[in-house]
Structure formats: C-alpha cells, structure tokens
Amino acid sequence: MTKKKTILSGIQPSGRLHIGNYFGAMKQHIAMQEEGDAFYFLANYHSLTSIQNKEKLENNTRDVVLDYLALGLDPKKCTLFAQSDVPQTTELAWILGTLTPVSMMEKGVAYKDKVASGLSPNIGLFTYPILQAADILIYRSNIVPVGEDQKQNIEITRDLAGKLNRIYGEDLLTIPEEHIVKSVATVPGVDGRKMSKSYGNTINIFDEGKTLKKKVMSIETDSVPLDDPKDPETCNVFALIKLFADKETITNIAGKYKAGGYGYGHAKKELLGLIEEYFADARAKRKELEQNPGYVNDVLKEGGKKARDRAEQVMEPIRSATGLFRSY
C-alpha cells in the first residue's frame, strides 16, 4: 500500500478572506484534502508581524476557520489547527535560524515587497521565511500548495532542510516540493492590481447584498463606448467572470463583448449573479456554523493535538541529533 503524501499549507488570519484567497489557495486546499494527508494551519504567529491587537487576531482566526469549514474543508479528512498550538514549530525555527546566513534573509523578495507596501520592517517579518520553513518541515511535508510569490520561500525551506540533514543526519527532515496553480496565481482586484487586503481592492468571499454589489460595480474598466466591440481578455470584469463561470457561459459572454452593444455594466451584473450563485450554499452554511462556536473550538482543539503529535515525532530525533536534551 502506497503511503499518502503529506500536504501542508497555511493562511494568515490577517482579515476577512477574499476571492483572491479562495481561487489562489483555498479552493486547492479543499480539493487536496482528498488527495493526501493534509495539514492546514492558521498562521497566527506570522500574523503578529502586522497585527498587535488581541481581539482582532482572535476574531480573524475564528473567521478564517468558519470560512474554510463553510467552503467545504472537512476536519474528518484533514487536520485544521492553529499554528500557536504547536510549540515544536518555534523550537525548530530557532534551530534552523542558527543555520541561516543573514545574506539569505536580506535577499528575501517577499520581505522587501511587504516593507515597500507599508509594513513595519521588524525582525519577525525579516525572519518570516525561517518560521515558514519550520511550519513546513515539522510535519515532514511532501507537497506545499503556495502562490507564485512564495516560491522563493519554498526554495529557502529546501536549502535549510538540506543543510540540517547534511550536518546532523540525512533522514531528519523531508525535502518538500511546491504546488503552484499557474492559472489562478493572480486574481485581479477592483482596481486591476493583484487582489490584496493591503491594497484595499478586495471582494470578500462572504460579501453579500449592497456591499457585494457596490464592490462589483466599482471594478475599473476602460472607456470604450457601449456600442463598440470590446476585447474581453483586457477586461478586469471578464477576468473575474472566468473564475466563476463554466466554459459555455464564458464563451457566450466573450461573444457579447466582441459583438458590441454590450457594456461593462452588463458584464458587472452578470459577474454579480455568478458570485452570488457560486457562494450561496457556503454562505448559508457559514451562518449556521456561526451559531455553534463550540464546534469551531473542538475542531481546532482536535487538530492541534494531532499536529503536535506529528511534530513531536519529527522534533525528538532532531533534539537528540543536535545535542539538546531535556531533564524531564
């Protein structure tokens, strides 16, 4: 019998999740729970690099759990847990940090991008890839679903795992592979840039009613007149339609663009309907889950225990190999 591969990914509870999060990561996470031994965590340690507010971080974490469960993540098929429930992660991060050249962190593209976007250049943000490496390696992960912008951090993870293995023992850490879905690596926001909370250009997964309509109708477009033919492939609205619609609908709407007499307002109304229909069942399930907070706590408690047990199996031989010991 072939052993299932371990799949690992995390998401920061830094605010309400948007459709870029869904198509860029969450949809793949939900699908991959059927394909291997999946571990998905709420990266609340990482969130401390940008959030220093107790209530906000706690509420964000709960919201992300609700979103995942409502969208179809099944805790019976995967392990869903909070990063902070696994202390072995920070233990391994320190050991990896002692093997990390400062120059490696100085070359971090994600760090430079985040500082450029306005985040404080704190040490946590600077050493973020080391903690991310520990997140991945502590469960002997084989496959790591990530966005294109995280590819460098996976390379750092592989480098650090290889270095620790060469120094302390070849079989201590598993070398992981990234899994990047190219077709949805970048989802456009309402202003045409990559959809991101930091840009304030998001359409949240569970937006509804007037809030959802206002955001969809605010999507930026060019000034081609209504009656003129339009190129759907250069339109932000059509780029989003392609995420929600089936092939027949996409072809039909593209034909309307090219024929003329079809304005961007028409396209936005079609997009609005597609979004409402796509998330209708998940929206209803989320409202139901909100009425049972004890269930969310139970999911995280059980997931945390399973994750700690796995992490300890990896961490104990590393302590022994490095010369660390416990007197208890």
Q: How far apart are CA 160 and CA 167, in angstroms?
A: 11
Q: Per the structure block, which two tokens stand in for 178?
A: 């990234």
Element of type H or E holding 179: strand 177-179
Q: How far apart are CA 172 and CA 138, in angstroms?
A: 10
Element of type H or E holding 2: none
Distance of CA 237 to the CA centre of its chain: 23
Structure letter (DSSP) for residue 224: -
Q: Which residue has the tokens 């050493």?
A: 127
Choose, from 114, 215, 230, 268, the residue flagged as catalytic.
114
Choose, from 5, 56, 151, 194, the residue flagged as catalytic.
194
Is 4 designated active site?
Answer: no
Q: Which residue has the tokens 């994750």?
A: 307
Is 197 designated active site?
Answer: yes
- For residue 36, give the amino acid letter: G
What are the backbone angles phi and psi of residue 81, rounded to the nearest 5°? -155, 170
Q: How far apart are CA 64 and CA 12, in angstroms?
A: 9
Distance of CA 88 to the CA centre of its chain: 22
Is 256 designated active site?
Answer: no
Q: Per the structure block, which two tokens stand in for 275?
A: 């979004």
Long-range contacts of 59-62, Cβ-Cβ distance < 8 Å, separation of 24 or more = 60/13, 60/14, 60/15, 60/16, 61/13, 62/293, 62/296
Count of beta carbons in the 10 Å neighbourhood of residue 32: 18
Decide if 60 contacts 15 (C-beta within 8 A): yes
Catalytic residue positions, numbered = 114, 194, 197
